[in-house]
């Protein structure tokens, strides 16, 4: 049976490609998911993709990954900076998790510099646009091999 990576995108990412394109680029969410799916396939993974504007929706999605998930690639969006619930969910399911941000959150407003999720993620990749997601998949694949 194929191993599955859960791709979880947070609030406002459904608008991807259509808002603040100077920050987030013109790739849409559908295109992004397709790109990640292709990269995942390259490494022998299936992909389950979820997007929610609800903090609780993201918690639910993380819980869902417990059943059969190999790892999580998550862009918690704005909830990165405010959600202890998502942080605890990731810690609770104990799957290797890579946090991704399209923009470089450390070069923006002060309130974006801290992410509760980073404290429990295996790794964090920021500022590299959609490419960051692909690198996250490759990182998970590598984790699958060693350690």
> Which residues of this protein are in contact with a second copy, per CB under 8 A?
10-12, 14-15, 19-20, 52-57, 59-60, 63, 77-79, 81-85, 87-89, 91-94, 98, 104, 106-107, 111-116, 118-128, 131-132, 135, 138-139, 142
Residues 106, 81: contact at Cβ < 8 Å? no
Rounded Cα distance between 72 and 9, Å, is: 11
Whether 133 is a known active-site residue: answer no
Spot the catalytic one: 101, 106, 114, 133.
101
Q: How far is the CB of 6 from a second copy (least distance, A)?
A: 16
The rounded distance, in Å, linking the Cα atoms of 68 and 16 is 28
Bridge partners of 7, per DSSP, are: 49, 73
Chain position carrying tokens 């959600």? 83
Using alpha carbons, select from 71, 62, 132 the residue that is nearest to residue 96: 71
Catalytic residue status for 24: yes
Q: How far is the CB of 47 from a second copy (least distance, A)?
A: 19
Cβ closest to a second copy, residue 33 vs residue 98:
98
Catalytic residues: 24, 101
């Amino acid at each position: 049976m194929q191993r599955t990576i859960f791709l979880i995108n947070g609030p406002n990412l459904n608008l991807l490609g259509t808002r603040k394109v100077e920050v987030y680029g013109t790739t849409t969410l559908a295109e992004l998911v397709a790109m990640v799916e292709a990269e995942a396939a390259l490494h022998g993974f299936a992909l389950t993709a979820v997007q929610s504007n609800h903090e609780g929706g993201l918690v639910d999605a993380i819980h869902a990954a417990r059943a059969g998930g190999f790892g999580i690639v998550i862009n918690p969006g704005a909830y990165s900076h405010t959600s202890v619930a998502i942080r605890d969910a990731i810690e609770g399911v104990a799957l290797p998790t890579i946090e991704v941000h399209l923009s470089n959150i450390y070069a923006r407003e002060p309130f974006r510099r801290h992410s509760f999720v980073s404290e429990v993620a295996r790794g964090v990749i920021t500022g590299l646009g959609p490419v960051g997601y692909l690198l996250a998949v490759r990182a998970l694949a590598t984790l699958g091999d060693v350690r």
